[in-house]
Amino acid sequence: MDSSFRRSPNTPNDDRLALRELLKSRQRNRNGVRGSPKSCVPCRERKVKCDKELPCSTCDKRGHPDLCEYESSTHSAASHPSRINQSTNQ
């Protein structure tokens, strides 16, 4: 057989898979939990871009600057009822 048809140990698909896994692992922080959302509640619900101002330009343009609010970023067990149930069931 001609050696030009042999595959190298690292094929492009292997490289793509490794890159995909690396990017996926970087999407989460050390605890494996994504960070708290930074967008205001209306923008997050509508899945639109939020400039994170108060009020944000999206809410202002829609004529509802009074509805523009951000959730507090408390990381207590009380803010995650499902985690409380999981820890008590173990």
CA-wise closest residue to 43 among 33, 53, 35? 53
pLDDT above 60 for 89: no
Q: What does the block give as tokens for 43?
A: 């923008």
Number of domains making up the chain: 1
User: What is the C-alpha R_g of the chain?
Assistant: 23
Query: Given this model, what pLDDT does residue 75 score?
Result: 55
Query: Given this model, what pLDDT does residue 72 score?
Result: 82
Residue at 9 is within a domain: no
* Residue that wins the pLDDT comparison between 36 and 67: 67
pLDDT above 90 for 43: yes
> Are 49 and 43 within 8 A, CB to CB?
yes
Residue at 31 is within a domain: no
Query: Given this model, what pLDDT does residue 10 score?
Result: 56
The region that residue 43 occupies, defined by phi over 0 for left and psi between -120 and 50 for alpha, beta otherwise, is alpha
Containing domain of residue 47, as a range? Answer: 36-70
